Structure 1
Amino acid sequence: MSDFRPVQMRSPVLTVRRVDAYHAITVVAPGIAERFRSGQFVAVAVGGEQSSMLLRRAFAIHEVKPDYGGTVEFLFAVRGRGTAWLAERRSRDLLDIVGPLGRPFPLPRDPVNCVLVGGGAGAAPLFPLAHTLRRRGCRVDFVLGAADAERVFGAITARRVAETATFTTDDGSFGLRGQVTEVLPQVVEDARSDVIYACGPMPMLREVTALAARYDIPVQVSVEETMACGTGVCMTCVIPVIGDDGITRMTRSCVDGPVFRGERVRFDDVGTIPFDALGAPGWKTHGDDAVQTREAG
């Protein structure tokens, strides 16, 4: 049986390339490559050994290849000092990386019609998923959107891999003007989609999940939540998720996610601790049982 436990590696940089509004870094990391499953991510140390930036940065894995002993590529946009430092790396620099981390996308047992929905850089983890689904005989349709043309990631690859690829931009500079949720219903109907996979901003995931409910099809979402450690220790990436028992828990995106069943995520309560969440004020525990003692309202 394969070992899926994450590993920490000092990985040499193979390439750093600019992809429109994003940067993509490919590192030689055979230990991570051989364990990777679609939807998992890496946590990268930034700033160098003497840096005051102690927290790692989490990035979805976009591509894994056996070349050069096993390479891993991740995508990011420059948003602060840490990602600016990463963008300045060059070939043969070493990066301290932990991975693969997180819960991967669950895969269908039988060939089904799958629509993959990505917003901005959220499209990155959908590409290894698309290849895996195609190998299983599934139909794949892409719906990708972003604010503008420069932020739509992977359009050429999406056209090559998928049965159909639909693109949207807020400003109309590429594809259709609007958002992915506006065109998704037509794609679902035309492709007779059986399942939706989505990754992107929380508002997009909320709308995609609501749309899946209207069509009564399952949806798997990969949440974009800020992570400080990526290993479940710091509790900064918790979101309210409904468990199999119907009880809401503040769930760690990094180890229990980043992939969740969309209908289980309480998107309207993200950023808060709902009053009815286990452990919130109003709950008492008796042994292994939890009892809510405060009434709603």
Structure 2
Amino acid sequence: MAGSPVQMTGTVLTTRRVDAYHALTVVAPGIADRFRPGHFVTVAAGGRDTSMLTRRALTVHDVKPDYGGTVELVFAVRGAGTAWLAEVKARDTLDLVGPLGRPFPLPRDPCTCVLVGGEYGSASLFALGDALQTRGCRIDFVLGATTAERVFGALRARRMGETTTLTTEDGSLGMRGKVTDVLPGVIADARADVVYACGPMAMLRGVTAVAVEFGIPVQVAVEEHMACGIGVCMTCVVPVIGEDGVTRMLRACVEGPVFRGERVRFDDVGTIPFDALGAPGGRNV
């Protein structure tokens, strides 16, 4: 059942380390029922008496029907909130809101898809891969990170994908370099029809440039810091060119996190371009 996000208390079923990352499996039937690949979840961190007011946006790696519906959330420790989440134990409870955001659009007909993941951004690609294969699509993976322990999902990708290409900047796993170094060859060999990507902004910028060079569409799930996750605080805005050619500051948590890559103005991320709709001294039509 797709529909509006829900807020609920979920019980932690399992916790595990996945190399450099943490994964929590939480019983959350209302969220699992509504989930589509590309959605995310926000979690309250710190407990009932915390001073940490903002929620943490977490990637959904897997959704299963167990216990009425579970979601597995993957994250890296980056600050006090995620450090607190890393200490959560089985049978603890979490306050969750989800599923949130705009999911990946799926092709109507079977096609060849290259799925590109950077760091733990790869986590969101596996539910997508399952959905694409259900539609008869071929999928090829390109996963990368700075070091081997920061590549997420290599074994699962090898099981799922027609091919899987791994890269690390230090050469500790797969080919030395970045995903953009090997992506042209993968697209050409697979005769890909579309690219899906999730990872750091710099990676998404490079992946988009490669896809545009090949003349194929690219869907990117952006990683922007989100404070509320529901479109109120405006901290996650990204400059995106609309169908009418006008740049608008769109909220990654509501209008995204998935955008058409060629419409994201990656060079201007973190700023409000002077020609954006509503920009100070700029366009106000």
TM-score between both structures, scaled by the size of structure 2:
0.99
- State the partner residue of 2:187: 188
- 1:261 & 1:14 partners in 2: Cα distance? 35
Structure 2 partner of 1:88: 87
What are structure 1's unaligned runs of at least 5 residues?
A: 291-297
* Matching residue's letter, 1:234: C
Output the CA distance in 2 between the equivalents of 1:128 and 1:175. Answer: 23
**8 A Cα contact 2:230 2:254, kept in partner:** yes
Amino acid across the alignment from 1:27: V
Question: Does the CA-based 8 Å contact 2:276-2:283 persist in structure 1?
Answer: no
Structure 1's 210 and 90: CA in aligned 2 closer, same or farther, altered over 3 A?
Answer: same
- Structure 1 residue 151: Cα displacement: 0.4
Partner of residue 227, structure 1: 226
Could you tell me which amino acid in structure 2 is paired with residue 243 of structure 1?
Answer: G
Q: Secondary structure at the match of 1:127?
A: helix
Secondary structure, counterpart of 2:34 in structure 1: coil
2:113 is aligned to 114
Q: Distance in 1 between matches of 2:146 and 2:273?
A: 31
Letter aligned with residue 135 of structure 1 = T
Q: What residue number does 1:204 align with?
A: 203
Specify whether residues 249 and 284 from structure 1 end up closer, same or farther in structure 2 by C-alpha distance, changes over 3 A only: closer
TM-score by length of 1: 0.95
Query: Within 2, Cα distance between the matches of 1:284 and 1:243?
Result: 14
Asked if the contact 2:102–2:256 (Cα under 8 Å) also holds between the matched residues in 1, the reply is yes
Local SS of the residue matching 1:156? helix
Between the aligned residues of both structures, percent identity stands at 72
Cα deviation digits, residues 195-222 of structure 1 (max 9, x gap): 0000011111111111111100000000
Q: Distance in 1 between matches of 2:87 and 2:74?
A: 14
In structure 2, C-alpha distance between the alignment counterparts of 1:75 and 1:60, rounded to whole Å: 5
Report the 3-state secondary structure (helix = DSSP H, G, I; strand = E; otherwise coil) of the residue aligned with 1:255. Answer: coil
Give the aligned partner of residue 63 of structure 2: 64
RMSD after superposition? 0.7
Aligned counterparts of 1:248 and 1:284: Cα–Cα separation in 2: 9
Match of 2:267 in 1: 268
> 1:1-297 counterparts in 2 under 5 A?
2-283=1-282, 285=284, 290=285
Question: Is the contact made by 2:113 and 2:193 (CA closer than 8 Å) also made in structure 1?
Answer: yes
- Largest Rg, 1 or 2: 1
SS at 1:125's partner residue?
A: helix
Number of residue-to-residue matches in the alignment: 285
Find the aligned partners of 1:81 and 1:259 in 2 and give their Cα distance.
27
TM-fit CA distance, 1:284: 6.0
Q: Is the 8 A contact 2:141 2:165 kept in 1?
A: yes
**Aligned partners of 1:200, 1:188: CA distance in 2, in Å?**
18
For residue 181 of structure 1, what is the amino acid of its counterpart? T
Deviations 1:179-203 (Å, cap 9, x if unpaired)?
A: 0000000000000000000001111
Contact 2:2/2:35, CA 8 A, preserved across alignment: no
Q: What is the CA deviation profile of residues 156-199 of structure 1, one whole-angstrom value per residue up to 9, with x for unaligned ones?
A: 10000010000000000000000000000000000000000000
Instruction: Return closer, same or farther for 1:202/1:10 CA change in 2, 3 Å cut-off.
Output: same
